[in-house]
């Protein structure tokens, strides 16, 4: 009887041991799984960090691109400003160059000038885009001149005393003199105190017996000989040419002759 109970006890103990072993084995995979989960979490975290870094890099690149794009309009703006400055400069240059061109007579005419001693006539025989043929007559003295009249200068390029035919146009057939005589040059501006003709004024209003003219350009030349200065000043009005001339000699016996436009007749 005692042996029987002992056997039952051993069997029960064996069953209990097997149950505990089984329970331990069953819990072991669970722990393994639990341990593996953090590894999976670390991998996912690494992926997330990589994704964040990529997004950060992409954001940085995008910002750099935006900065470059933001700078490009600035460069374009600078180019536009430079072009506008160039256009302004060219426009100003064109306006300045037209200063002399606009003074050229627009039609053929006879202009009469008078001063206290005598009268003289200037006849515009012919003109084109770049040249003007005119004839001066003072008493019996006649002088024919052909002027090259463009945007940059007014020059006497042909001169003849007492020509045979004062009414015939020579603009298509004349041979220029070897040396031109400048009467005005857009590059020469100053006080007119040298032998070179200089522009001394660009926008005067001059009243003469025939009419009042605006935007008149005055040019002057001075020849110095000891204590005597010979000063010659001419006034040009748009569309008609010379309207006034002042000739002056300084010194002890100095004098001044002022010739002004009194009459205009069309040819």
Q: For 220-266, how does the pLDDT look when each residue is reduced to its tens digit (9 = 90+)? A: 999 999 999 999 999 999 999 999 999 999 999 999 999 999 999 99
CA nearest neighbour of 189 among 99, 129, 91: 99
Question: How far is the C-alpha of 177 from the C-alpha of 82, rounded, in Å?
Answer: 44
Q: What angle do CA 209, 140, 166 make, to 5 degrees?
A: 85
23-32, 77-86, 196-205: which range is least confident on average?
A: 23-32
Confidence of residue 30 (pLDDT cuts 50, 70, 90): very low
| pLDDT tens readout for residues 175-216 | 999 999 999 999 999 999 999 999 999 999 999 999 999 999
Question: How far is the C-alpha of 63 from the C-alpha of 58, rounded, in Å?
Answer: 8
CA nearest neighbour of 221 among 243, 207, 200: 200
Q: What is the pLDDT of residue 89?
A: 55
Q: What angle do CA 250, 254, 255 make, to 5 degrees?
A: 110
**Residue 221 has what DSSP assignment?**
E
Task: Give the three-class secondary structure for 133.
Answer: strand
**Contact 201/192 with Cβ under 8 angstroms?**
no
CA nearest neighbour of 223 among 235, 215, 231: 231
In the numeric block, the tokens 């002759």 are attached to 257
Which ranges of 152-217 would DSSP assign to H, the alpha helix?
Answer: none
Average pLDDT, the chain: 79
| pLDDT tens readout for residues 117-171 | 999 999 999 999 999 999 999 999 999 999 999 889 999 999 999 998 899 999 9
**Contact 104/132 with Cβ under 8 angstroms?**
yes
Q: Encoding tokens for residue 55?
A: 């997004």
Taking CA atoms, 92 is separated from 87, 89, 119, 129, in Å, by: 9, 5, 40, 22
70 has pLDDT over 60: no
**Contact 266/112 with Cβ under 8 angstroms?**
no
Q: What is the pLDDT of residue 72?
A: 52
**Residue 209 has what DSSP assignment?**
S
Q: How does strand 119-127 pair with strand 109-114?
A: antiparallel
Q: What is the pLDDT of residue 239?
A: 95
Q: Which residue has the higher pLDDT, 57 or 126?
A: 126
Q: How does strand 198-207 pair with strand 212-225?
A: antiparallel
Contacts for 267 with CB less than 8 Å, ≥ 6 apart: 107, 108, 109, 110, 123, 124, 125
Confidence of residue 102 (pLDDT cuts 50, 70, 90): very high
Q: What is the pLDDT of residue 23?
A: 46
Q: What is the pLDDT of residue 22?
A: 46
Q: What is the pLDDT of residue 61?
A: 47
69 has pLDDT over 70: no
Q: What is the pLDDT of residue 99?
A: 84
Q: What is the pLDDT of residue 15?
A: 54
16 has pLDDT over 80: no
Share of the chain above pLDDT 70, in %: 64
């Amino acid at each position: 009887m005692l042996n029987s109970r002992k056997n039952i006890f051993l069997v029960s103990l064996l069953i209990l041991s097997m149950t505990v072993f089984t329970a331990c084995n069953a819990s072991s995979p669970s722990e393994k799984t639990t341990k593996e989960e953090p590894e999976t979490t670390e991998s996912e975290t690494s992926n997330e960090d990589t994704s964040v870094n990529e997004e950060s890099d992409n954001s940085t690149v995008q910002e750099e691109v935006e900065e470059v794009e933001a700078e490009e309009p600035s460069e374009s703006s600078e180019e536009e400003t430079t072009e506008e400055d160039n256009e302004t400069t060219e426009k100003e240059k064109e306006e300045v160059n037209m200063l002399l061109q606009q003074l050229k007579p627009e039609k053929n005419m006879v202009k009469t000038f008078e001063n206290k001693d005598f009268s003289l006539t200037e006849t515009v025989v012919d003109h084109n885009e770049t040249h003007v043929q005119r004839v001066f007559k003072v008493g019996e003295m006649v002088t024919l001149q052909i002027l090259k009249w463009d945007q940059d200068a007014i020059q006497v390029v042909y001169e003849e005393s007492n020509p045979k035919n004062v009414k015939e146009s020579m603009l298509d057939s004349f041979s220029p003199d070897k040396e031109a005589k400048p009467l005005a040059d857009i590059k020469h501006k100053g006080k007119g105190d040298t032998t070179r003709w200089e522009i001394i004024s660009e926008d005067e209003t001059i009243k003469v017996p025939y009419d009042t003219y605006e935007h008149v350009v005055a040019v002057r030349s001075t020849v110095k000989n000891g204590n005597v200065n010979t000063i010659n000043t001419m006034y040009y009005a748009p569309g008609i040419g010379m309207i006034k001339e002042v000739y002056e000699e300084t010194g002890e016996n100095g004098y001044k002759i002022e010739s002004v436009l009194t009459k205009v007749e069309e040819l």
